[in-house]
Chains A and B, each alone.
Chain A
């Protein structure tokens, strides 16, 4: 009778562990997909995230799966925060560009790169005087998008 009770307990524990592993594997799969989406969204920038556990291909024990799941939760949150921060920087750059377009003379020292705006290419927005020194003397300014130099930096 005691042996039967012990066997049933061990059986229940094994079932519980299998269920726990299945649940963790599903969670890891979902988190990996979310992380992957965020990394794709970050292109062409690369997200600098806390390194995740890595090794050779092996069956993970329950503890490792939990650690991996927790690390992925952190990574997804980190990546989301990085994307939000990047969007805020882009919004700020867009506002500065609009101010530059409205009043080039007052913003003549402002330079905004295409990269800051989240647009492809290596151009730079800046204010330049019309007609060179004459424009500078007369206060005639315009906004120019330079082509940028692909060899710079």
Chain B
């Protein structure tokens, strides 16, 4: 596991902002039965009241606060854990969507920490969070920006179902313990590699 770099100006503003990465081997396109069952179990134990209470849970609340501080209205664009909760309520479950998506969703639902999967063959480590000249937050590798952080639109560098090597990146908002990021990454890696 590696700790990602944070642009100095950003680190001065948010000293507790973190990025952690971990490589994982993706052994097949579809999730294992165990992962699908876990997602189904998580869906069955979740209701509307818990979805509302989620915003006040410590880790989910940290992302909500961070969103607000960087100019995103969390009511218009929900933080990842809350968005997953709403989608679960609307769809009635967590249907399988492929090994990579399921692994990332499992890590998010279990820890409330968003994990993103990049195609390891397309990016050059180490990853970090950079600032554009206009102040936009970017998730970048050592050569170029990969994705506007938390942008609803995806990235061309995200892993696809056929990706074999995935570079997992967990973004830790200020106030989120490093242990939560580690746990999220290990969960996602375990779901991807089947170990």
Residues of chain A touching chain B, judged by Cβ–Cβ distance below 8 Å, are 18, 21, 25, 28-29, 32-33, 36-37, 39-40, 43, 51-61, 64, 68, 72
Contact = CB atoms under 8 A, between A and B. Distances in A.
B52 A61 contact: no
A120 to B, nearest CB: 10
A30 B93 CA distance: 34
B64 A32 contact: yes
Contacts, number: 80
B134 to A, nearest CB: 7
A37 B56 CA distance: 7
Place the interface of chain B in its size category.
Answer: 20 to 34
A40 B56 contact: yes
Contact of A32 (B10, B53, B65, B76): B65
Contacts of B73: 51-54
Contact of B71 (A21, A32, A51, A56): A56
Contacts of B71: 53-58, 60, 64, 68
Interface of B: 9-10, 12-13, 49, 52-53, 55-56, 61, 64-65, 67-77, 131, 134-137, 148-151
Determine which residue in B10, B13, B71, B77 has the highest number of CB atoms from chain A within 10 A of its CB, and name it.
Answer: B71
A58 B149 CA distance: 9
A31 B135 CA distance: 23
A18 B68 CA distance: 19
A29 B65 contact: yes
Contacts of B67: 57
Contact of A54 (B52, B55, B77): B77
A25 B69 contact: yes
A60 B74 CA distance: 16
B55 to A, nearest CB: 5
Contact of B13 (A32, A59, A72): A59
B13 A58 contact: no
B14 to A, nearest CB: 8
13 contacts: A25-B69, A29-B68, A37-B56, A39-B75, A40-B55, A40-B56, A56-B72, A56-B148, A57-B149, A58-B71, A59-B137, A60-B135, A64-B71
Nearest to B137: A57
A95 to B, nearest CB: 28
Given A36-B55, A36-B64, A40-B53, A59 B9 contact: yes
Of the listed residues A18, A40, A61, the one surrounded by the most CB atoms of chain B closer than 10 A to its CB is: A40
A4 to B, nearest CB: 25
A43 B52 contact: yes
Contacts of A51: 73, 76
A45 B46 CA distance: 20
Contacts of A28: 65, 68-69
A40 to B, nearest CB: 5
Contacts of B148: 56-57
A34 B194 CA distance: 42
Given A36-B61, A37-B56, A40-B53, A57 B136 contact: yes
A76 to B, nearest CB: 12
B21 to A, nearest CB: 19
A21 B13 contact: yes
A33 to B, nearest CB: 7
